[in-house]
Structure 1
Amino acid sequence: MVGLRGSSGSGKSTLLALCAGFITPRAGQVERVAGLAWLGQAGHLFHGSLRENLQLAAAGEADDALLADAMALAGLGVDDPALPDGLDTRIGEGRRGLSGGQAQRVALARAWLSGARLWLLDEPTRGLDPDTAKAVWQRVRAMATDRGAGVLVATHDPLVLAGAERVLHLVAKRLQEVDDAAA
């Protein structure tokens, strides 16, 4: 668990996008890592069923039991009233039909289903109330540990930074290690 902090506009999201291969550097190079999962600021979901959204990340065809397990691990069971048709619940483009916290949990379930060994998270608790943010972050930690995944998380959230094993501070386009007392 590595936390990445910095002021707004310091380049945290850009650094994550470089790591993910979404953009290429103007100079130097970035070593590509096979098998990474991306969880953006607003858990992007696609128009279709919950099952289809989860299957996007599953290595091969995942059966309903595995999909339901992933959702339960993420803290949103398929029997939740917010998902009236379970795995067949329709989701509109851009997560229509789900709250921000629910969308983050679906995106988290996708990360777990992917089997990726590196998770890149960009402000995973942004816009969530404190209780939901705490629950989502606890799920991230538990699920990443379960999968043996490393996590690089860009955040302003002190709760998330406090749970990181290391914290890096992005200042003037340079990464600096943050000692425990300053974190």
Structure 2
Amino acid sequence: MTAALRATGIEKTYGQGTTAVHACAGIDLQVDAGELLVIRGRSGSGKTTLLNCLGGLDRPDAGQVWIGEHELTAMREADRVELRQRHLGFVFQGFGLLPMLTAAENVEVPLRIVGTPADLRDARVAELLDLVGLSGHRDQRPGELSGGQQQRVGIARALANEPQLLIADEPTGQLDAHTAASVMDLLRSLTTQRGVAVLVTTHDPLLAGRADRVLQLHDGALAGTP
């Protein structure tokens, strides 16, 4: 297996002295290509902080993060931004779609950012909307879509630049049980059919059942096989 993500000794602390909160306390982690890894933990356990450090949205206080062969933690900010744009996809609990844009236009945004030619953008958007089952909704805006449909648009957008790693922070947190299961099934299919590495946080034990591995985050430490 090829490691899409490898992290060693990740530390992140907020505050000082007796009030310090150790959100990440020397975390080691690896996610392989084609693997779905779920991290569980109660609210406030540090799941989002960990994902932000792993995805280059925040810098850890200590430790190293590798995305493929690239050491993310050693990069300048501009280089980290470019790596995120080309090698990582992010899915958020709150969907994060631009309300004034259609579903197709939302998916197209990452392609525009990296300068993909218009004809290739159109083909890629069509492919991705078909992948997530929304070909018939390309011209609808987020306010005209259900929560599950919005999250599928978010997943399509995250896949626009063919990332080697997809990071999803509580992607089903605002969805009902049936819709949540269908979103997790979609994430599962990305690993088996496309070889994408998927790292997901969730508090739902039923959704965790679709994972290859499940780790528990507690007091800044991971329990399980990193």
Distance (whole Å) between structure 2 residues aligned to residue 30 and residue 111 of structure 1: 20
Bigger CA radius of gyration: 2
Unpaired runs of at least 5, structure 1: 179-183
- Measured on the aligned residues, the alpha-carbon RMSD in Å equals 2.1
Distance (whole Å) between structure 2 residues aligned to residue 2 and residue 50 of structure 1: 28
TM-score (norm 1): 0.81
Indicate conservation of the 8 Å contact 1:115/1:147, yes or no.
no
SS of 2:214's equivalent? strand
Using the TM superposition, give the Cα deviation of residue 177 of structure 1 relative to its aligned residue in structure 2, in angstroms: 0.3
Q: Of 41, 49, 55, which residue of structure 2 is paired with 1:6? A: 41
Write the letter of the residue equivalent to 1:8.
S
| Residue of structure 1 equivalent to 2:92 | 40
Q: Of 67, 83, 88, which residue of structure 1 is paired with 2:139? A: 88
SS of 1:127's equivalent? coil
SS of 1:8's equivalent? coil
Q: How does 1:48-127 map to 2 (within 5 A)?
A: 48-58=101-111, 60-61=116-117, 62-76=120-134, 78-79=135-136, 83=137, 87-89=138-140, 91=141, 95-127=142-174
Indicate conservation of the 8 Å contact 1:119/1:152, yes or no.
yes
Distance (whole Å) between structure 1 residues aligned to residue 209 and residue 42 of structure 2: 17
Flag the structure with more relative contact order, 1 or 2, with Cα contacts below 8 A and sequence separation at least 6. 1
Higher mean C-alpha deviation, range 97-106 or range 25-34: 25-34
SS of 1:164's equivalent? coil
Higher mean C-alpha deviation, range 16-25 or range 58-67: 58-67
**2:182 aligned with 1:167:** no
Percent identical across equivalent pairs?
Answer: 40
Unpaired runs of at least 5, structure 2: 1-35, 67-71, 73-79
Stretches (4+) displaced over 4 A = none
TM-score (norm 2): 0.67
